[in-house]
Amino acid sequence: MRAFEAIIHQVIDEQALSRSALAYRLFDAFLVLAGIGAAVAATQPDLSPAVIDGCLGAIAAVWVCFLLDYLARLWVAPYGIDLSDRSVWRARLDWMVSRNGMIDVGSVLPMAVALALADWVPDGAPLLAVLWIMRFARYTTGLDMLWRVLTRERQPVLGVFLIFVLILLVAAVLAYLAERHVQPEHFGSLSMALWWAVTTLTTTGYGDVVPMTPFGRLLGGFVMICGITVFGLLAGILATGFSSELRRRDFLRNWDLVAQVPFLRDVGPGAIADLANILRPREVPARAVIARRGQPGDCMYFIVQGEVEAMVQPQSHIMGPGDFFGEIALLTGGPRTATIMTLTQCRLLVLDIADFRAIAASRPALLAVIQGEADRRLGLMGQAHSPGGTS
């Protein structure tokens, strides 16, 4: 039973890179798109009843799949968790109230509740299939990043929002005063003028309400310009916040990964900070070829987790966490001297050739260490035709 639980966990784990896990995620995405597509198609009035019934049946089948997925995730939730301070069911309860748990329950519970209150018809419970799009949030940190950006930039965002409301109210009052006698059917009340102000300030411009007086037209042009300015300002604040958050996230993640490499751990905090800004993490599944012998080399790799095999004659060489490869091609400008294949799922740090040359100029001590290791490996290859280290 424990082995079967491990297999299920490996397949449905969002962070796993195995082929089965990737295939399952693709299948999950297919079900989401198929379910939403069927919900949209079922509302088309020109389709035959048989096709509509088929769409409703497809939605029901997808819902059953998502229910089984939820039950499987609930079952394996305690897997790999330290249960010394909690019970199995407490671990499952913690997962249920987690972000992913709420996403999964949101895929099955609303439709089940709606089915109890309405019939299984195109304009009933099946319409809630549109909620399945939130399942994609399990595989991205975009929503979490957006929340952090809004939290960090709440003061300037709130300031822009207050400016928006101020312009909206003032424009509505002025339009009401200018147009109420000319167009009482459109500007006869402040609430009606607010509709015009909203559509104009957001530059939507439905054209259903148009000022007729000269002052009203002048006011409309001014409100349009204010709308462009306000939304441009908001876009700039959010873009800057996202850029800062991305740099912060990448730096912290890369710092943690760099610190796990013994070779890089001793180069000093300044060098680690420089490397954290330029190294790029890469997840590679097992039995994947990273580099091929004879090809030009444009980057080098540091191994954080996993093992790789350097396939050269007369014997292969296995490297693990803390090792690096690919440096000889960067130092000599020649082609790769070995084919590198992953033996297990690996986490690597990639240093591009342009960044390598920049760090070599600013951190000569780090370059000397890499150069020394490359010379040692080239010497071993020359003596025994063996890749004690490879590129």
Q: Which domains does the chain have, with CATH numbers?
A: 2-139 (1.20.120.540), 154-245 (1.10.287.70), 264-384 (2.60.120.10)
258 half-sphere exposure, CB direction, 13 A CA radius: 25
Q: Could you tell me if residue 333 is left (phi over 0), alpha (psi between -120 and 50 degrees) or otherwise beta?
A: left
pLDDT score recorded for residue 45: 85
Residue 387: per-residue pLDDT: 42
The separation between CA 343 and the C-alpha centre of its own chain, rounded to angstroms, equals 27
Looking at every residue in the chain, the average pLDDT score rounds to 83
More confident residue, 223 or 84: 223
| H/E stretch holding 19 | helix 19-42
Whole-number Å distance between alpha carbons of 236 and 149: 12
191 or 250, higher pLDDT: 191
* Residue predicted with more confidence, 384 or 375: 375
On whether the CB atoms of residues 258 and 264 are closer than 8 A, the answer is: yes
pLDDT > 80? residue 14: no
> Is residue 348 within 8 Å of 258, Cβ to Cβ?
no
Band of residue 11 on the pLDDT scale cut at 50, 70, 90: confident
Helix runs in 202-213, H state only: none
DSSP structure string for 130-178: GGGGGGGGGG--HHHHHHHHHHHTHHHHHHHHHHHHHHHHHHHHHHHHH
pLDDT grade, residue 262 (50/70/90)? Answer: low
Is the pLDDT assigned to residue 361 strictly greater than 60? yes
**pLDDT (0 to 100) of residue 200:** 93
- In the predicted structure, residue 17 carries a pLDDT above the cut 80: no
Which of 123-127, 187-191, 326-330 reaches the highest mean pLDDT? Answer: 187-191
pLDDT at 268 (0 to 100): 67
Please state the pTM of the whole predicted model.
Answer: 0.61
* Backbone conformation region of residue 210, classed left if phi is above 0, alpha if psi is from -120 to 50, else beta: beta
**φ and ψ at residue 136, rounded to 5 degrees:** -65, -20
At 368 the pLDDT is 76
Q: Provide the angle, in degrees to the nearest 10, between the axes of the packed helices 214-259 and 269-278.
A: 130
pLDDT of residue 248: 82
- State residue 84 phi and psi, 5-degree precision: -70, -30
pLDDT at 15 over 80: no
Highest mean pLDDT of the ranges 81-95, 243-257, 297-311, 350-364:
297-311
The structure tokens listed for 95 are 């997962």
- Looking at residue 222, its pLDDT comes to 94
Residue 122 above 90 pLDDT? no
